[in-house]
Structure formats: structure tokens, C-alpha cells
Amino acid sequence: MSLPLKTAWDIARRDLNARFKGLRLLLVCIFLGTAALAAIGTLTAAIEQELASSGQELLGGDLEIEVWQRDLRPDEREALAEYGEISSGFRLQAMASTPDAAAPIELKAVDAKWPMFGTLVLADGREVGAPSGMDAWIAETAIQRLGIAVGDNFSVGTVTLRAAGVIRDEPDRLSEGFALGPTVIVAQDVPAAAGLLEPGALYQSKHRIAFANPARDANAAEEALTKAFPNAGFDIRTRDRASPGADRFVRQMSDFLTLVGLAALVIAGIGIAGGVSSYLDQRRGSIATLKVLGATSGDIVRIYAMQIGAAALVGSLAGLAVGVLVTPLLGAALQGLLPVESGFIIAPGPLALAAAYGLLVAFAFAAAPLLRARTYPAMALMRSGVTPLARDKRALLATGLGIAAICALALITTAQPLLSGGFLLGAGGALLLLAGLGWAIQTIARRLPRPRNPLLRSALSNIHRPGAPTGSLVTALGFGLAAFVLLAAVQSAIDGNIQQRVPQEAPDYFVLDVPRDKEPRFFELVQADFPDAAIRTVPTMRGAVLAYGPKDDMTRVADLEELPEGAWGLRGERGLTYADTIPQGNRVVAGEWWSPFHKGEPLVSVDADLAKAAGLKVGDYITVGILGVERTARIASLREIDWESMGFNFLLVFSRNAIADAPHNLSATIDLPEGADSEARGRLLRAMVKEMPSSSVIEVGGILKEARTILQQVSLATLAAAAVTVLAGLAVLMGAIAAARAARTYDTVMLRVLGASRRQILLLQLAEYGLLAGVLALVALALGGGLAWVVITQLFEFEWLPDWGEVLGVLGLGVGLVLAFALTGSLPLLRAKPARALREL
């Protein structure tokens, strides 16, 4: 007859140590996995909720239309007005200057209706709208660069402006995208008055709509406008996609953090299995006593399942609490990069999901050792110290069901089922690989010749002797060391992207809107102070791909419900140029380049990646819209572009006769000699402002600094997340070594009775773990490195630039920690009293 549940709980509670002694590994593993998933889910939910709830404020309207190098035509403006109120303006790069200083800026011209949503707050606390007349709201960094104060004057183009206030909080900053200079906000008519909107100038006109009917479907409006004006070159965004860059980054980070959480869960499961096995092994006397006193196998399962469940519940609750507590810290690390509310955030859905994962993992990996002890008779349990318990095949069913439930939950709740499914399959394959490797190590160790050195001979015997924990040690050590490799490879690859490529290859300045008739004077200005400067100029204009494909069967972009995967160049307007020779940093991979001053059929060279994504080939045609005029050219070649050259790279390069008659200016790069004088740099900028007021300079150093800051924020968040996996790996390593230590008490006692010294026993342990760790280091390098490659190249879309010296150093540190843990774990064995230990076996 089974015990009542209350009686079973009373026995479980009395036997359960208040400090969870014996179950701490289970508790720590559940805690780490649940905390990671709780923090990941809460942070992602908070960001997505903020993007969704503040879409109007982030965008500045319900819908936004962007078009390059022109304003709206009357019929276009009339169509927009049917939806509601319109706020219009311009965005362009410009130069701000005083008699003593010059600085590149991002000029933001707005009308009197701006902002329609949100509030602009100045540094002095004033809440203001659009500036009027020649007043300007100016960013703090621009004030510092120009060396002026509020109330002082400065010039932009041909007009003089007054710094009327310093910007503290710009409501639609996130939707404006990556800034190429500090922001200066002016009235809508300032750019035209300053001579910055001449034909060929590179500027955007932006038009935000606040719907008269707030319930109107923004996506339906977007479709209607695209259909009504298919060739207008509109780039349309809705309040649901207020910041595509932020949305994309959130998806990438969410995918990565989900992989981190799943990795932590896999490692936690290994630790739980080892921890529960060790705990039940320590409790075998109690289990045997209960059975002798009449407890059934079901009673044993209920009693110890309650203990394990209590530890899992405490670990899960602690993990949920910590996950909520660390979310503000992660938010602070991403401050300015993503919209994250300050303070603590409670997201019931992600927290419940994290708790479900934790409890499922506890069930799945604790079931096998629990059911194995359930089915053995009392005397066998008492002899288990010298006669290991056999495996219960029925326990595999419970473990399989638990793992299936975890996989189902992961696939149902993820936004990327293929990614998560692939990772779970990979984790399962890694587990099978490590299990097979454990069996192979034991088999090889059994067949190797016996070394003459008694310590090595004993270490080799310990690997394959009956009851040896080699299989569990191989799994734990393999995943633990792989966690070290993952962390080092991801971190060093991000650092490599920050430091190794861009700074070495970037020019000092980009210059936009250089008038074509002033190109010789532009060279003279630069070479006056820097005769050895490398200068490159290219014609530049903007246009949108309207149609592509075979001449008689071209696909209209406006008719596509969804762009082909990877064909981002078909979305909105892109930079266009023409050239007589192959651009620097490009390589023709299909077709041929045209001859200089080609006069035949208009031709175009296309980026090979775009061609592959869109299904284009040499001989097909492309139609682009430039300032409302359609131009069609035949694809003469496909090019491979070195995007890391940090020069001018264009998806589409046309022959001169295809587009050269369209209004346009030149863009230029300036690469100054190493160690160029800062005073001479300042003279150059002031000279260009004076003689070419409509041109704008972009300082690459500032861009790189901002990009480096963003990447460092990503690196910090990545480090914090990946650290959870490493902590879980460390916990599993310590638990596996502790479990093996408990199993070796008998061996150690027998060696000491036979005369082995303390030093010999320690060397024996180090030799055994050294052999295993040495073999598994290579496996960990492959596992951790493979996962890091997926994270860097597939999720973050960065270059694969790990520092292998750093990775190997961290892996060596992991191996050193394994040996240190083994040595520390062996010390209690030396204190065991032989007589007492033999009586307890």
C-alpha cells in the first residue's frame, strides 16, 4: 500500500537539508538556465513592447514617405493629404562653421507641425516644437565643435543661424537611423535659402502623416500608395516599423540570446543528471532503509521527486527574480541603441516560459537516475558502492518525453523555428557525439598497453574500469570547455570587427555634393595643405530599381508582395553612379566591362550578390527611376564588391551614356597622409565651407567612433549573456568532479590501505583528468567554435575574425580550471578514515 502524499512529503521534508546539501548542483543549474531565459525574455519583450507602443512617437507619424533629391509633386501631396495631416521636411548632410571652426552636421529641416507625436526637450528643460526664422536647435557636440554658446551665430551654406537651444531629447531620433554628424534642427525653408537643395544635391524630403482616422490600417495605406505611385521611388515606413534597424537588431539579439539560453539549458540538464545521480547515491542507505521498512517503489519516487521538485522550484523562482533584476542592467548596456524603459519590468509571458523550461529540464534529466534507484531491491542499493546499479531502460522513455516537451516548447514559442530547431538538433548531435566519444575513450583505454608507470597505469584503468563515470565526465567536460571557447570566440570576433578592418582602410573624409564644375578647385584646396593626399571623386545620384529581368518579361518591383531573400537593393532608393573603368575594390566575375566613353546600348554592372538574390544574369535588363524619369540598361557584367574598403561602393554602376545627363554632383574621399596636422585639417574644412558652401564633409573618425561604441555595446551585452553559459559550464564541471569524487571514496581508501601516499593519489587524479581534458579540448574547440561562427556570421552578420591565440588561451584556462577542480575535489578523499569508509560501503 502506498504512502499518503502528506506522509511522503513529511519524510521528504525531514530528509531534505535546509541548505539543499547534495542538491545544490541541481539548484544552481536550474537557477542559471532560468535566470538567463527570464532576462532574455523580459528584455526582448520590453523592447518589442516599447517599439510597438511608441511607434508613432519614434516615427513621428503613422506613416512616413521618404524620397531622394526632390520634394513631393502636387498629385503626390494631394494623395497623402487624404489620409490626414502632413508634416514635411528635409534631411541632408551639411557643414556648420564660424570664422574659427567648422564641423560636419546632420541638418534636419522641419515645418511648424513637427513634432506631431512626442516632444522635443532642450537642455534647459524647455519643451519646444519646430524652430522659426533663423533659429536652430543644436546638438551639444556641435556646440562644442564650433566653440560657441547658446545665442551665438554660426553659418550653414549661405545663411547665418542662431543657436537658440541645445537638444536633450529628440522624439524621433531612433527612426532617423545612423547619424553622420551631430543634429541641427532648423525651419523647413532654411536648406533652400542656404543653397543646399540645388538640382543634383543629395538630400531627402520626408513627409509624416498623422491619420485622421487613428484606426486606419497603416500597412494597407502603404500598399495603396505603392500601387498608386509605383515609379515614384518612395521609401515608406509605418508606425509598426518605426525603426527597421532597431527591429532587425532586436531580432538578431533575441535569436542570439535564445541560443545562449538553450545552450545554458542543455548544459544545465547535464549538470542536473549528474547532480541527482550523486545525490541519490549519497541517499542509497536511506532508500534501502525505506524499502526494508515497506516503502514501495512508487513511494521512493514520490519522496525524492518532492525533494528534487522543491530544489527545482526554489532554483526557478530565484532565477526568475534575478532575471527581472538584471534586465535594467542589460537595458543600460544598450542605452541609446535600443528603446528600453528604465526600471524593473515584469513580463508574465516570458517569465512563465522561463519557469516552464526550468521545471521541464529538471524533470527530463532527473528522471533517469530517480527511476534507476526506484526499481532496485534494498540489498542491491546497499551494495551499490561496490556493485554499480544497472541502468533502467524505462527511464529512457521518461527522459525522452521530457526532452521532446522541451523541444516542442522551444519550437512553438520561438520566432525563428528553423534556427532554434537547428540548434536543438545540433545540441542533440553534440550529446550523442560526446556519448560516443566517452564510449570510444573507454574502449581505447581498455585496449592500450599497460604503462610501466604505476600512476599512469592506475589513471588509465580508472577511465575504463566497471562503474567508471567516464561517460558523464566526458559530456560535462566537453560542454563546459565548449562554453569557454564560445565566449572567447564570440568576444574576440566582435573585437576583431571593431579593430582590425574598418580603421585600417577608411579614408579621413567623405565629401558630398561637390559641384562638377568645381572639381579642379576642389583638388587645389585639398592639395594646398596636403600635397600627398589621395583624392577620389565619383559622380553620385539616387534612384530606385523599378523593374528587372529578361527584356520581354521584366518583373515590376511594385508588383512584388515580398522582395526575394537577400535582395535588399531593390528596396527604396540607392546610390547610383557611372564609370568608364571598373571601380576600385571591385572585380568582374561574369560578363565584360564596357570600353571608355561607350556610345552603344546603355549598360549596367550589378553587384553579384544582388544578382544572385534577384535571379539576374548577364543580358537581363534593369529599369531605374531617377528624379521621376525611367532609364533602362542591359546588364553587361556582375561584380564582386569589397564592402570593407570603406570607399564608394555602388550596387549599380552604369555606362556614362545611361545616366550622365541626369542632374547630379560629385562625391569624394580624401585620405590624408599619416600624422596630418590638426590645424591644417581645420583650415581645409574652413576653406571648403567658404568656397563650396553647398558641399558637406563627413568625418570618418566620428562615424567610426560611433560605430565602435555601438559594437562595444553589443559586445558587452553578448559578454553578459555568454557568461551565463560559462557559469553553467563551470557548475557542471564542479558537479561532475564532485560526483566522481563520491564514487571514488572506496578506490582511494583501498589505495591508502595498500600504502599509496597522498601525493600519489593526487597525481593519479590529475593524470586521469589531464588525459580526459586533453582529448576533450579538441572536441570543445570544434563545438564552441562552430556555435560562435553561427552567432557571428549568421546572426550578427559580422566577419569571422576570431583571435585564435585568445581562444586557445581561454581554452587552456578552462583545462587548467578542470585540473584545479579535480585537485580540490580530491582533497576530501585524503581526509577519509579507512575504517569508517569501509564500514559505510
The alpha carbon dihedral of 699, 705, 710, 714 has a sign of positive
Q: Which residue has the cell 578506490?
A: 747
Give CA–CA dist 88/73, Å, rounded.
13
Helices (H), 82-178: 140-146, 173-176
Q: Write down the pLDDT at residue 586.
A: 86
| Strand boundaries in 224-369, DSSP class E | 235-238
Per the prediction, the chain carries an average pLDDT of: 78
pLDDT in tens, 541-561: 888 899 999 988 899 888 887
Q: Write down the pLDDT at residue 364.
A: 80
Give 762 or 391, the one with higher predicted confidence.
762
One-letter amino acid of 337: L
Query: What is the total residue count of the chain?
Result: 841
pLDDT in tens, 771-792: 777 888 888 888 888 878 877 7
Beta bridge partner(s), residue 107: 92, 184
Q: What DSSP character marks residue 238? A: E
Q: Write down the pLDDT at residue 488.
A: 81
Beta bridge partner(s), residue 512: 696
Calculate what percentage of the chain has a pLDDT beyond 90. 13
Q: Which residue has the cell 554602376?
A: 653
∠ at Cα 571 (567, 576), nearest 5°? 95
Whether omega for the bond prior to residue 171 falls within 30 degrees of 0, making it cis, is: no
With beta carbons less than 8 A apart as the criterion, state whether 345 and 46 touch: yes
Whether the pLDDT of residue 342 is over 80: the answer is: no
Radius of gyration of the chain (CA): 34
Q: Could you tell me the pTM of the whole model? A: 0.61
Q: Smallest Cα–Cα separation from 323: which of 543, 31, 687?
A: 31
pLDDT in tens, 414-445: 766 776 777 777 777 777 887 788 888 888 87
Q: Write down the pLDDT at residue 607.
A: 92
With beta carbons less than 8 A apart as the criterion, state whether 600 and 568 touch: no
* Residues in CB range of 709: below 8 A, 6 or more apart: none
pLDDT in tens, 357-381: 888 888 887 777 777 766 656 555 5
* Residues in CB range of 635: below 8 A, 6 or more apart: 591, 603, 604, 605, 606, 611, 616, 617, 618, 619, 620, 621, 622
Q: Of the segments 218-222, 500-504, 630-634, which one has the largest average pLDDT value? A: 630-634
With beta carbons less than 8 A apart as the criterion, state whether 157 and 94 touch: yes
Lookup: cell for 457: 597505469
